[in-house]
Structure 1
Amino acid sequence: MKDKICSFFILLPFIWLSTGMLILKNGDKTMVAMVVISIVATLYSYGTSSIKQNLSNKMLWLVIVIAGYTIFSYTYHGLSSRELRAILASLLFLLFLPSQLITQNRLVIFVVLGSVVSSIYAWYYSVYLGLGRSWPINPIPYSTLIASFAIMSLGLVISHDKKRVKALTLFAFLFCCYALILGETRGIWLAILMALVIITCYSMIKFYRPKYWLYLGAFILLICTVGVIVKPQIEQRVTQTEREYKAIQSGNLCTSIGLRLQMWQAASILVEDNPILGLGDSHLKKIDELYKQKRISKCLYDNQPPHYHNQYLDRFVKNGAIGAILLIALLLLPLSKLKQKTITQQYFLLGTISVFAVASLTDVPLNHGQTLFMYFFYIIGVGCLPLLKENVIHD
């Protein structure tokens, strides 16, 4: 009983990520307290023995480097304190986390719980209250969280050997698909579709079996069924996209898509000012200068973009080439030893990284506290654990 209580407190950050952080607007701030509780519980139960084991994980050293450069950037020219707080809290949690507590049964609980809570949240505000996309939490990064839970649910459907767990995680996946459509975030729709294509191709190549074609057909049928249920939301978003496209053709770049195009163009100009270390918070002053020079439009200037709706360009502008290289490393290095991981880890890595990599084309998921915790906990903490025996990760 004592061990179960200690394990609960040690894994409290994972539990909070699947519950409270999906409900509270500032849930990522509360996560810091959860990490502190987890570390205290770990020290009480295991002492510092887990630190040595975790430091053998090369990806953790990358997080240490990223944390160090983020502190430097924050001190040198200013950056978001929320981003810094999430990175440091994640680093400390992963440093102390006893990896033997991560089992597939617990992952099923975390992922299904997160899928259900996030889906109910989307339904409550979009349908029950009739607020559309006016959620207390920004619907764009929130949709990234939903997409991550969706793709991990799908990974568990494929990798788990128990039929009841397959059924449970399949329903979790469908709930998330429904919630994603309610979120009406086009960039995340593209991200989840690309992740599904990548997961399907990977499964066909690595574990070729005729039944995967049946799985693929069943998934397509189920997703289409969900699409029919929320057909009005899809049609509304498609119609809006057509209107914006026509507006851009006529020279009006002050639409949602048009502003993104302008942001990308402005970012390509701003990187020239400090290509190595970036501009930090001073990028907004440079926006003012570009407007005075009549190099950007008034609607973009009035928007005063806190970021540039592209993670790669945004990181280049604010953190320079060093920050951009570290970003690419964070997305690609976890895949370098994919074949050495368990099946569950492989799907978590491939699917979630695909979601974040594609979502980063139109948003900045790694600038937000909630999505940063999601990425670090599941990619570094679960996907890149030191090689575990199959019966441990599969419980």
Structure 2
Amino acid sequence: MPIIFSRFFNLAIGVVLFLFPLLILTVKGSYNFIATLMLLLGLGFCGVNRKSIRFDREDYIFFGTLLAYPIVLLLAVLVQGGKWTALDYPWRVLAVIPIALMVKGVSRPAQCATNWIWGWQAGAIVTGVGALIYMHWLGWWRVGSHITNEIPYGQIAAILALGAFLFARFYRTYLWLLLSCLAGLGGIYALAASGSRGAWLAFIAAVIFFLVQLLIANRRHLVIACVLTLACGYALNFSTFVQSRLEAIHADVNAYNHGNADTSTGVRLDLWRLSAEIAKEHPLFGAGPGHFKEALAPKLGEKPFLANFAHAHSQYFDTLANAGFIGLAGLLVSFLAPLVLFWGRLRSNQRLERVFALQGCGLIIVSMVACLTQPLYAHNISVIFYFICLSVCWGFSSANAVPAHRLEGGME
């Protein structure tokens, strides 16, 4: 490949890696265009380097287990019947392969990783500033509808906040640490402003996970992290907004116990209960992907308001109802196997690999916990963000496994 074209290609990769996390929660619809560019670059890279691309054993496991869920859904459609459109979002996982291979094989991984990290930190800060403007200057009660639904907005903000803190380990300077903390706080503010309770739970679960990881790695760092966590918790305890959301949960549970299920929490509890009943009737492959509303209709009884919901408000219960226990097993494999692979790379002696393995763990943990109260595959922005971030984390955490004969000026 000519050097001038190779340098242009590397520049294009760096630009899209910078822009994707920067614009995801600031410019509506930007993720579609940038993700398409990233996929085209990945396909181009794989086409040019098709003879030199190498899959190792972990690549086969990673890509194979990610395909477990869409393959099981395909089987459910063929065996049980269902809507082919229900396969759209899960099968977008195929985009992970060329993008991850591109990131893994790029000639200057450290430079491209720096672009992604700077875009991530800038995106978290800009998102926090935007949420501050919407809340305090425009008087919004919840932030997120200017980009997408408030729930996926909060989930992505939680991942941005967590990643911003984790990227503090990329550079070992006090200025970078300060910038990372500022970015993390921006993400946390956007998370709080979204009013997404499930995203808060996911963020806290991920923080606990990494506190345990710090305990294993360095007890001194754990003490610092615990002090900071307690300080943040103490501050949040006096936040009127957070308190109002906790009081809303308590009120919803009380109403549900007194027979009123027409609340945010009550609706979820009833949808989960009815999803379990559907799975009991169709244990292997469920009612068929995309048939949730049809299977739910005969069970509504005196709660017709539940007919407005096209999913179970939980990825796990939704999968259980639509694809049965086999579908649920495929979903869990698609989460847990990549998590184990990323966890194994935390012991790498290369900082680039460790940092992105850490982010990969955080991405999956937040997504898994958030799936308790909201399906991952219900929103286009959630699916694209998850798969793009997964591709980048896998690629950069594998970057040092690529043979050293790559051209310094570009691709071979």
Which TM class, normalised by the smaller chain length?
A: 0.7 to 0.9
Matching of residue 379 in structure 1 with residue 393 in structure 2:
no
Match of 2:41 in 1: 38
Q: Which of 281, 286, 291 is the equivalent residue of 2:295?
A: 286
Equivalent position SS for 2:334? helix
Matching of residue 48 in structure 1 with residue 50 in structure 2:
yes
Q: 2:158 touches 2:203 (CA, 8 Å); kept in 1?
A: yes
How far apart, CA to CA, are the structure 2 residues paired with 1:178 and 1:223? 13
Matching of residue 83 in structure 1 with residue 95 in structure 2:
no
Cα offsets for 1:5-47 (capped at 9, x unmatched): 3123235553443134324544454345323432365258x53
Match of 2:178 in 1: 167
Matching of residue 220 in structure 1 with residue 230 in structure 2:
yes
How far apart, CA to CA, are the structure 1 residues paired with 2:277 and 2:318? 12
Match of 2:9 in 1: 6
Q: 1:264 touches 1:308 (CA, 8 Å); kept in 2?
A: yes
Match of 2:257 in 1: 249
Alignment of 1:164-203 (within 5 A): 164-203=175-214
Q: Which of 320, 342, 345 is the equivalent residue of 2:356?
A: 345
Matching of residue 120 in structure 1 with residue 112 in structure 2:
no
Match of 1:298 in 2: 304
Equivalent position SS for 1:271? helix
Match of 2:370 in 1: 359
How far apart, CA to CA, are the structure 2 residues paired with 1:180 and 1:365? 17
Report the CA distance between 1:261 and its aligned residue: 0.5
Report the CA distance between 1:203 and its aligned residue: 0.5
Q: 2:202 touches 2:365 (CA, 8 Å); kept in 1?
A: yes
- Taking only the aligned residue pairs, the percentage that are identical comes to 18
RMSD: 3.1
The aligned amino acid for 2:335 is L
Q: 2:15 touches 2:115 (CA, 8 Å); kept in 1?
A: no
The aligned amino acid for 2:49 is G
Q: For the structure 1 residues 335 and 265, does the alpha-carbon distance in structure 2 shift closer, same or farther, using more than 3 Å as the test?
A: same
Report the CA distance between 1:56 and its aligned residue: 5.5
Report the CA distance between 1:328 and its aligned residue: 0.6
Equivalent position SS for 2:11? helix
How far apart, CA to CA, are the structure 1 residues paired with 2:331 and 2:117? 29
Report the CA distance between 1:119 and its aligned residue: 2.3
How far apart, CA to CA, are the structure 2 residues paired with 1:34 and 1:360? 28
Equivalent position SS for 1:253? coil
Number of residue pairs matched by the alignment: 382
Q: Which of 226, 235, 240 is the equivalent residue of 1:232?
A: 240
Structure 1 spans left out of the alignment, 5+ residues: none
Match of 2:270 in 1: 262
Cα offsets for 1:106-138 (capped at 9, x unmatched): 342132133124323433433332222261311
How far apart, CA to CA, are the structure 1 residues paired with 2:338 and 2:91? 22
Q: Which of 12, 18, 21 is the equivalent residue of 2:21?
A: 18
How far apart, CA to CA, are the structure 2 residues paired with 1:56 and 1:166? 32
Match of 2:220 in 1: 210
How far apart, CA to CA, are the structure 2 residues paired with 1:68 and 1:22? 31
The aligned amino acid for 1:272 is K
How far apart, CA to CA, are the structure 2 residues paired with 1:128 and 1:201? 39
